[in-house]
Amino acid sequence: MGFGKTFIKRRWFDGRTGTTVYLLFALTLMNFILISYRFLIEGSPLFANLVSDLTIFSIIFIVTYIPISILIGYWHRKTQWKVELAIKMMENPVNAKMFRTILDVQTGKASDEEIKEFRTFLMKIESK
């Protein structure tokens, strides 16, 4: 790993990824637990009698939250992931360039009109 042209850009990307995927997730979860405890438990005598300690509330919350988030993530991966990847692929200029290159290599298997339409489609994606 040297200090080439992309070193700072890669570190910036790594920092943003670490922040959004890990740090902000943890901070947001802690914030949500604290706000929920404040309004739900401290604000209601009924719930305050059931769970009077923030630690106990946090444990109950996390034990409930983790399985629910896993189920939602599983559902997302099984039902929505393909759609998201297809949408992202349609807007990715690198994919467009690769597919255009493949198309140019395989020109013998498609009509000239199909090649022209596909090439135009891919060039529109590349220009974004």
Overall pTM surpassing 0.75 (yes/no)? no
**Of 59, 18, 19, whose CA–CA distance to 37 is shortest?**
59
User: Is the model more confident about 49 or about 58?
Assistant: 58
HSE at residue 105, side-chain half, CA atoms within 13 A, is 6
Query: Residue 99 domain-assigned?
Result: no
At 74-123, the pLDDT tens digits run 999 898 888 888 888 888 887 877 777 787 777 777 777 777 787 888 78
Residue 108 included in any domain? no
Q: Which residues, 6 or more positions from 41, have their beta carbon under 8 angstroms from its beta carbon? A: 47, 48, 51, 52, 57
Q: State the total domains in the chain.
A: 1
Does residue 102 sit within a domain?
Answer: no
What is the per-residue pLDDT across 59-75, written as a single tens digit (0 to 9) for each? Answer: 999 999 999 999 999 99
Full residue range of the structural domain in which residue 9 is found: 1-68
| Dist. CA 55–CA 82, nearest whole Å | 39
Among 117, 82, 79, which Cα is nearest to 99's? 117
